[in-house]
A and B are shown apart, each in its own frame.
Chain A
């Protein structure tokens, strides 16, 4: 280990302060701190620090994403083979899915991290680890057949406009991964909606029709999947969103480690269940009478509420605010699903909308604390006067 350490120190020499390549230090540091937790000691404030840091937090999110990702890869192959009618094994399905999805992940990471490194060098700060999660989320919420260059452009747009334009990690208003999806959705609608994009090779092979459940409901067709299939995720949809089961495993990891906010997740489920239940009572069309329990397991709702709505930067930041934010995401998700004729999936737009309103929610929560304090001051003054 000390050999490796010495080697790295040697490589880093020209990047030290005042040396020739000092400007590029953030890029080298990013690789160094990936290998080793640095030897920095506390200089002010508390003399001891918790073992947790941003790298550890972000990697925990990635661990939580892995079950859904693996199932998503398998399901991509499964949907393809089941529709073409070929005989297949688990491995066949997994290989087909990997062949489609791994390049998307690589494109997303390469494009996003390149921009992050450039901005870190330009601004002279260390590379933040937030993109490790964003870079994996972007391919996971895309349709499987989206061309790679679209993934690249969407990623570039999200990192540049949604994140770096606002000042980088920690400053963005919208969730970058959802912004990438929204960009792709509005820029290339034919690749992002309809009944030909949700199953691998659906646009090339006539035998395949890949309509999502929400899509067929919006079109007024019957749904041929059971609730169990929806829960397990063996249905068409964006790559990793389909399985409520494996998303739920990720949710448990996030809640147990304390990395994801259980308040937002539970608030979201409550909001969606309530809204779905109310529409069930109304029941004017197929989407309205779609059972509220099913609303929770189809489409991107589970994935969105667990992995996107809980993004701490773009969500509400106060504990009470998180409840309100979560419940409103749930409500708006079902509202948009039912009332938006063009695109039946509401969770993306619901979360982006609430991202915009999260600071407002926090504002009122904090203001109530302030006004309580001011009231206490003035009642104390009355007593002494």
Chain B
């Protein structure tokens, strides 16, 4: 019996600026940053001081919620600054890299002979634990848990998303090792999902349940796949890991060193040469943006992640902890005369048929960050369901989150969703509802009240 799944509904946004399959390696940038805000619901407790030398793998801070979880330096060098915001909140730990590239090494025996607890201990100690995220809530996993399954999605459907087959082509053995390590941590399966029409080397991976997926965005989201394959019940824990972080864990178990490899694709209509770069977590983005030929004809927005659910960065910003994608699109801070009339300005892509943009479906659209309207009361119904392929009522769940009705949020399926699943709902909303933000606040409330 084929385990392949087809996700109905959703929408594919055909945008301009997809990355060419060229992998470029640039000289390593000088500065690196670790941002506690990259980790949802973590309160950092600093271990290092400004001016302290660090090696690759030296802990910089740990999580107050669980002191076993360390966040380590991606490179060797010196802690050059700790940037704080309001109420002394730690925003960035800045590291100036040196040439030595010294790393902390651990003695890692052959993982085949290790039990789950020892493997967890090695991952924790090396600082690789933050790679493992947990559903519900999309927070860093608790080392004390045993997940009922682990999901790795290499099926990318988000706008301009990377091609994992290309991205991991030099890391096939480490990827396999990572999968085999993870297999020891779960009581169930390691589910590896991939594009059903092109399996690539993922089709030959061992120790994992191989599941082909087809469908439009958000079919590539792990949350949507979990909902179909192994839905989360009350109290369940499912772990989710990004494909390249599986490689990082694989490298850890072959070299004994923390691996902070990150391949990024700089994409979007505001770069002349969208392509892939081999770099490191937290690296300064500037050299990569320049190498991609960022256009300065208009103001641009640099986004860590895809245009639907990424976080805003800047040209002076840094690579995020998890994202492989860096999207650069023009800011749309311009007025459009009578732009609200139906069937005008058809160059702006629209899921709704009140625009003729569907006639130009094959043409790659240039999008801007314009809101294309103003926030209004929730009037139109049924549009969220069109782009939300789960057996959950999205509008009712959003309303329950606004009302902070915990019991109802639970009943309507808050455990099964994460904000990124609502990315297309944000996009498609007639009333310009900020669904991702509402869901994120709802999840934070659940963590606080229910845990």
Could you list which residues of chain A lie within 8 angstroms of chain B, going by C-beta atoms? 1, 4-5, 33-42, 44-57, 59-60, 63, 126, 128-130, 168-171, 256-259, 261, 312-313, 315, 317-319, 322, 366, 369-370, 372-374, 376-377, 380-381
The CA of A211 and the CA of B342, in the complex, are separated in Å by 39
Whether B371 contacts A370 by the Cβ 8 Å rule is no
What residue in chain A is nearest B373 (Cβ atoms)?
A53
The CA of A51 and the CA of B411, in the complex, are separated in Å by 33
Whether A366 contacts B393 by the Cβ 8 Å rule is yes
Segment at the interface with A among B33-41, B70-78, B93-101, B433-441: B433-441
Across-interface contacts of B351 in A (CB, < 8 A)? 50, 52
Q: Does B382 sit at the interface, judged by CB under 8 A? A: yes
A54's partner among B308, B376, B381, B413 (CB-CB below 8 A) is B376
Whether A53 contacts B340 by the Cβ 8 Å rule is yes
A381 to chain B, nearest CB (A): 7
A46's partner among B236, B334, B338, B423 (CB-CB below 8 A) is B423
Across-interface contacts of B341 in A (CB, < 8 A)? 56, 59
Segment at the interface with A among B54-62, B285-293, B424-432: B424-432
B411's partner among A55, A318, A374 (CB-CB below 8 A) is A374
The CA of A44 and the CA of B309, in the complex, are separated in Å by 9
Q: Does B200 sit at the interface, judged by CB under 8 A? A: no
Kindly list the 10 A-B residue pairs having the minimum CB-CB distance in the complex, ordered from nearest. Answer: A53-B373, A170-B377, A37-B339, A46-B426, A55-B340, A51-B348, A52-B352, A36-B335, A51-B350, A37-B336
The CA of A257 and the CA of B336, in the complex, are separated in Å by 22
What residue in chain B is nearest A380 (Cβ atoms)?
B233
Across-interface contacts of B429 in A (CB, < 8 A)? 49-50
The CA of A257 and the CA of B450, in the complex, are separated in Å by 43
- Cβ < 8 Å to A, chain B residues 379-405: 379-383, 385, 391-393, 395-396
Evaluate whether A51 and B355 lie within 8 angstroms (CB atoms) in the complex, with A60-B342, A312-B379 already known: yes
B435 to chain A, nearest CB (A): 7
Q: Does B374 sit at the interface, judged by CB under 8 A? A: yes
Whether B353 contacts A258 by the Cβ 8 Å rule is yes
Q: Which of A50, A169, A374 has the most CB of B within 10 A?
A: A50
CB pairs A–B below 8 angstroms (14 shown):
A36-B335, A41-B333, A46-B308, A48-B369, A49-B370, A51-B339, A51-B352, A52-B354, A57-B379, A170-B379, A256-B353, A312-B380, A322-B382, A377-B234
Across-interface contacts of B345 in A (CB, < 8 A)? 51
Q: Does B147 sit at the interface, judged by CB under 8 A? A: no
What residue in chain B is nearest A41 (Cβ atoms)?
B369
A45's partner among B234, B357, B392, B434 (CB-CB below 8 A) is B434
What residue in chain B is nearest A317 (Cβ atoms)?
B381
Across-interface contacts of B411 in A (CB, < 8 A)? 370, 373-374
The CA of A49 and the CA of B301, in the complex, are separated in Å by 14
Q: Does B8 sit at the interface, judged by CB under 8 A? A: no
Q: Does B283 sit at the interface, judged by CB under 8 A? A: no
Whether A47 contacts B348 by the Cβ 8 Å rule is no
The CA of A374 and the CA of B413, in the complex, are separated in Å by 10
Across-interface contacts of B436 in A (CB, < 8 A)? 44-46
Contacts A50-B427, A257-B352 aside, 15 further interface pairs with beta carbons under 8 A come to A44-B437, A45-B435, A46-B309, A48-B13, A48-B367, A49-B371, A52-B350, A52-B354, A53-B430, A55-B373, A126-B376, A257-B342, A258-B352, A317-B381, A376-B231
A364 to chain B, nearest CB (A): 13
| Interface residue tally for chain B (C-beta within 8 Å) | 77
Across-interface contacts of A54 in B (CB, < 8 A)? 373, 376, 379-380, 430-431
Whether A130 contacts B379 by the Cβ 8 Å rule is yes
A302 to chain B, nearest CB (A): 22
B271 to chain A, nearest CB (A): 15
Whether A369 contacts B391 by the Cβ 8 Å rule is yes
B interface secondary structure, majority: loop
Across-interface contacts of A35 in B (CB, < 8 A)? 337-338
B364 to chain A, nearest CB (A): 14
Across-interface contacts of A258 in B (CB, < 8 A)? 352-354, 383
Evaluate whether A50 and B350 lie within 8 angstroms (CB atoms) in the complex, with A41-B371, A374-B411 already known: yes
The CA of A312 and the CA of B430, in the complex, are separated in Å by 12
The CA of A267 and the CA of B321, in the complex, are separated in Å by 50
A36's partner among B336, B342, B393, B413 (CB-CB below 8 A) is B336
Across-interface contacts of B426 in A (CB, < 8 A)? 45-46, 49
What residue in chain A is nearest B365 (Cβ atoms)?
A48
The CA of A313 and the CA of B308, in the complex, are separated in Å by 27
B372's partner among A50, A261, A315 (CB-CB below 8 A) is A50
Across-interface contacts of B393 in A (CB, < 8 A)? 318, 366, 369
Whether B231 contacts A40 by the Cβ 8 Å rule is no
Across-interface contacts of A169 in B (CB, < 8 A)? 376-377, 379
The CA of A56 and the CA of B423, in the complex, are separated in Å by 22
B186 to chain A, nearest CB (A): 14
Whether A50 contacts B376 by the Cβ 8 Å rule is no
The CA of A338 and the CA of B267, in the complex, are separated in Å by 65
A335 to chain B, nearest CB (A): 26
What residue in chain B is nearest A321 (Cβ atoms)?
B381
A228 to chain B, nearest CB (A): 32
The CA of A327 and the CA of B393, in the complex, are separated in Å by 22
Across-interface contacts of B235 in A (CB, < 8 A)? 381
A57's partner among B233, B307, B354 (CB-CB below 8 A) is B354
Whether A171 contacts B382 by the Cβ 8 Å rule is no
Q: Does B310 sit at the interface, judged by CB under 8 A? A: yes
The CA of A318 and the CA of B393, in the complex, are separated in Å by 8
The CA of A50 and the CA of B159, in the complex, are separated in Å by 14
B405 to chain A, nearest CB (A): 13
What residue in chain A is nearest B367 (Cβ atoms)?
A48
Evaluate whether A128 and B310 lie within 8 angstroms (CB atoms) in the complex, with A47-B329, A50-B429 already known: no
Q: Which of B333, B336, B375, B380 has the most CB of A within 10 A?
A: B380
Whether A56 contacts B342 by the Cβ 8 Å rule is yes
Q: Does B378 sit at the interface, judged by CB under 8 A? A: yes
Whether A57 contacts B374 by the Cβ 8 Å rule is no
Across-interface contacts of B335 in A (CB, < 8 A)? 5, 36-39
Across-interface contacts of B357 in A (CB, < 8 A)? 51
Q: Which of B231, B329, B342, B378 has the most CB of A within 10 A?
A: B342
A116 to chain B, nearest CB (A): 12
Q: Which of A35, A49, A126 has the most CB of B within 10 A?
A: A49
Across-interface contacts of A315 in B (CB, < 8 A)? 381
The CA of A377 and the CA of B413, in the complex, are separated in Å by 11
Q: Does B303 sit at the interface, judged by CB under 8 A? A: yes
Q: Does B331 sit at the interface, judged by CB under 8 A? A: yes
The CA of A318 and the CA of B392, in the complex, are separated in Å by 11
Whether A49 contacts B432 by the Cβ 8 Å rule is yes
The CA of A366 and the CA of B327, in the complex, are separated in Å by 38
Q: Does B20 sit at the interface, judged by CB under 8 A? A: no
